[in-house]
Amino acid sequence: MRILTVLIFLLITTSSFAVTFDGKFIQGSFIIGKTNPGSNVFIDKKKVKVTSEGFFVFGLARDRNNDVVIKINETKIIKKVQKRKYNIQRIDGLEEKKVTPPEEVYERIKRENKWIGEARSIDSDLIFFTKKFQIPIENAIITGVYGSQRILNGKPKWPHYGLDFAAEEGTKIRAMLDGTVTLAEPDLFYTGGTLIFDHGHGISTLYMHMKKILVKKGQKVKQGDIIGTVGKTGRATGAHLDVRLNWFQTRLDPATALDIK
């Protein structure tokens, strides 16, 4: 009887924990975890939602160096983060007004950044993030990658956190994933025609520099639906689509979700 009790106890304790990860522990990475439904999951002390099937999601920042601490119930898992090399470009001798935006637009930029930040902080129960992402434009050439940075006149600029697809103006853009529109703005200072989608658990995607926006805030969109067209609105040098992926305020590499090498 006692042996049986011990066996049952062992069975319960050993079967109570299991976890798998889909995604690499590399800077900028999008990672989906799967564990037992009902588990309590913490990523670096931040409690994250777990779906009824046991899925949870998180991501690693561009410059993340320290290990990731994942706590599932009472079990702690520590993962090293692999570093990446980013493309750094120095350009000197530029006219100063091309390096810094004019003062009269500061308030506008601040206001628009607040809207974007709010859309990115949504922590909904949607579970669309568990589905595979799809390319937003077929046959487009990737002209800009995540993490690259320009140093203009010695001033390091904001790193590029998106993935750029060069395409002709008016090219149809398809939703990479099912989601709900949380921001639809035709003319933001930096990003021009901008869409943000919520995919659940803090995962959001952004589409920028759009010419036409064909969806409205609050609208539910299916993967592959046409959401607008390619443009060069906002601060864009030419027609292209720039897409972004976030886990709350952490900017991730969209290529890691799209499986682009």
With CB under 5 A as the contact rule, the residue among 144, 172, 214, 250 that binds Zn ion is: 144
- Minimum CB distance to Zn ion, residue 145 (Å): 9
Please, how many CA atoms are within 13 Å of residue 91, restricted to the half-sphere of its CB? 10
Beta carbon of residue 157, minimum distance to Zn ion (angstroms, whole number): 12
Please name the residues in contact with 161: beta carbons below 8 A apart, sequence gap of 6 or more. 62, 146, 147, 244, 251
Q: Given the complex with Zn ion, which of 57 and 255 has the nearer CB atom?
A: 255
CB of 109 to Zn ion, least distance (A): 17
In the bound state with Zn ion, the residue whose beta carbon lies nearer, of 242 and 253, is 242
Q: Give 164 or 178: the residue with its C-beta nearer to Zn ion.
A: 164
Query: Measured between alpha carbons, how far is 228 from 231 in angstroms, rounded to an integer?
Result: 9
CA distances from 43 to 47, 55, 173 (A): 6, 13, 33
Q: What is the distance between the alpha carbons of residues 73 and 67, in angstroms, rounded to a whole number?
A: 19
Residues of this chain, 227-256, that bind Zn ion according to CB under 5 A: 242
Q: Does 159 bind Zn ion (CB under 5 A)?
A: no
Binding mask 33-52 toward Zn ion (x if CB under 5 A, else -) reads --------------------
Closest approach, Cβ 135 to Zn ion, in A, equals 16
